[in-house]
Amino acid sequence: MGRKKLKITELNECLGEAVLRLLKTQGSSQARLSECSGVSDSRISELTRNLRLFTLTDIEAIADGLSIKPSQLVAHAERLLAERSKHADNVIDFPHTREENLPDFTKLAARKVTNRPEWEKRQALDDIGEESQDPGDYE
């Protein structure tokens, strides 16, 4: 059974970014945060790189390691989220990249190769020197 693909939300991404910004502001490192919070280095790294979803336990422990309240960490992430949405409104629309303006790629498929006698001759001789896979040949 395969692993379930995570649906990383924008708030989760902003939480990771908030942790990194707060660490930078405090002049601290992920390793130091790991020591102070009790959250493993690898987990903090995965959270800040958006490879894992934050849990409430993570938020509480990391906020404690940063010497802030969990609500302050979430508020910082919400401010980052608001900044993102403000910038998203300023996105320039390029009409030529809209889906309805893209060419029909099925008509742009690779050309069909017709008869290639030299290639077919080489392919026919390609099995020379190979052992037979038929068990009846060895009886």
* H or E segment and range at residue 25: helix 10-26
Task: Determine the distance from the C-alpha atom of residue 85 to the mean position of all C-alpha atoms in its chain, rounded to a whole number.
Answer: 21
pTM higher than 0.75, yes or no? no
d(CA 24, CA 35): 16
Q: How deeply is 119 buried, as exposed, middle or buried, from its count of CB atoms within 10 A (0-12, 13-18, 19+)?
A: exposed
Q: Rounded to whole angstroms, how far apart are CA atoms 63 and 19? A: 9
The pLDDT tens digits for 40-99 are 999 999 999 999 999 999 999 999 999 999 999 999 999 999 988 877 666 666 666 666
Domains defined for the chain, CATH in brackets? 21-90 (1.10.260.40)
